[in-house]
Amino acid sequence: MQGILTTAKHPPYSVVLTYAEDRQMLTARTVEAAQLAPLVATRLEMPILLDEFEFKLDDEFARRLGVAVLNLIALGQPEIKQFMSVTQSPMPR
């Protein structure tokens, strides 16, 4: 997956992660924040305060973020739960 990341300059954008049940595939897309804003204005929001993580975007932060995102997807598409075997709580340091 690192091969798709480049050092080229990109304008600010949001990332939308979608689960396609029929293809059993997760897809990440970039969307301009201004285009996305009206669509998400009234939707469920899960704030993630970086100061609660001491502004450390490390492996544990990424793991917990991934678990949270998978749990959010599973709220609307519970079929994905059959593939999930993740630790819900923080890992011991």
Residue with tokens 């502004």: 55
Name the token pair of 82.
Answer: 């059959």
Residue with tokens 């897309």: 29
Residue-wise pLDDT for 57-68, tens only, equals: 999 999 999 999
Q: Which stretches of the chain score pLDDT less than 50?
A: none
Torsion of CA 7, 9, 14, 17, to 10 degrees: -30
pTM of the model: 0.79
Q: Provide the pLDDT for residue 41.
A: 94
State the Cα–Cα distance between residues 4 and 40, nearest whole angstrom: 26
In whole angstroms, give the CA distance from residue 77 to residue 18.
10
pLDDT of residue 92: 65
Q: Where are the domains of the chain?
A: 2-83
